[in-house]
Amino acid sequence: SPSKGLDAELSRRERRGEALFEYFSPSYVEARKVGGKMVNTKRPLLYNYVFVHASEDEIFSLKRTLPLYNFLPRVSSG
């Protein structure tokens, strides 16, 4: 799952009482036949995309903490 590192970071922050963030990894359920039986599998809607809701400072902090992720802060004009 692309969000494993974010799960661990959120858990660490929660234990230490640090600022938390929200994230969302869009997915869908795929039904397919395996060994003659129908099986539901959760699949990512957008491969390796996770949307993070946090302040700009928190995004830059996450970039330092989780260098394997590419974070794109949303730029807004006042």
The Cα 38–Cα 18 span in angstroms is: 43
What one-letter code names the amino acid at 44?
P
Note the pLDDT of residue 16. Answer: 96
* Contact assessment for residue 59 and residue 52, using Cβ atoms and an 8 Å cutoff: yes
- pLDDT tens by residue, 52-71: 888 888 888 888 888 888 87
Whether pTM > 0.75 for this model: the answer is no
Note the pLDDT of residue 44. Answer: 85
| Exposure string over 25-58, b if 16+ CB within 10 A, otherwise e | beeeeeeeeeeeeeeeeeeeeeeeebebebeeeb
* Contact assessment for residue 53 and residue 41, using Cβ atoms and an 8 Å cutoff: no
Note the pLDDT of residue 56. Answer: 82
- pLDDT tens by residue, 17-53: 998 889 888 889 999 999 999 999 988 888 878 888 8
